[in-house]
């Protein structure tokens, strides 16, 4: 999907546990830092749809498994109308970079609560983000 990046991330394991790197200021895909927050998603729960008009979101799942669904409604995009699905978590540890203008939603799959880290490029007022309910007819995806 145009503008979406999925970047494999490193995990460093030893006898004490592990470190899961997400984003560094010297990464070539780093834009800037706005804020970081974590969301927990209970098994089977779907959150979304979300769209941001200004900020880019950098998503990584540090626990559990998350199905991330992206929809491109952008008129000027070569992938307008396309859907992309990603399954991300520690076994497929990656950074999903979602630019402004893309709708996204996610569901925790399996039996474990998923923990999602969201590092945004900007601190924006609440009206910068948009939401749609699951099942909205403008997004051609059935959960």
CA dist 37 and 120 (Å) reads 9
Asked if residues 90 and 11 have their Cβ atoms less than 8 Å apart, the reply is yes
Tokens found for residue 140: 């051609």
| pLDDT, block means (10 residues), the chain with 143 residues | 96 95 96 96 97 97 98 97 98 97 98 97 90 96 96
- What the chain holds in terms of domains, given with CATH numbers, is 5-13+30-118 (2.60.120.10)
- Cβ-count burial of 84 within 10 angstroms (0-12 exposed, 13-18 middle, 19+ buried)? middle
So what's the pLDDT on residue 124? 84
């Amino acid at each position: 999907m145009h503008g979406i990046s999925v970047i494999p991330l490193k995990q460093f394991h030893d006898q004490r546990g592990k470190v899961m790197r997400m984003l560094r200021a010297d990464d070539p895909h780093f834009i800037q830092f706005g804020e970081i927050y974590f969301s927990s998603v209970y098994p089977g729960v779907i959150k979304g749809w979300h769209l941001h008009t200004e900020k880019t979101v950098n998503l990584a799942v540090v626990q559990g498994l998350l199905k991330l669904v992206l929809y491109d409604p952008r008129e000027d995009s070569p992938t307008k109308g396309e859907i992309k699905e990603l399954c991300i978590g520690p076994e497929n540890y990656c950074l999903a970079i979602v630019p402004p203008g893309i709708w996204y939603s996610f569901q925790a799959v399996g039996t474990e609560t998923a923990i999602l880290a969201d590092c945004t490029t900007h601190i924006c007022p609440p009206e910068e983000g948009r939401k749609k309910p699951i099942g909205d007819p403008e997004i051609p995806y059935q959960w």
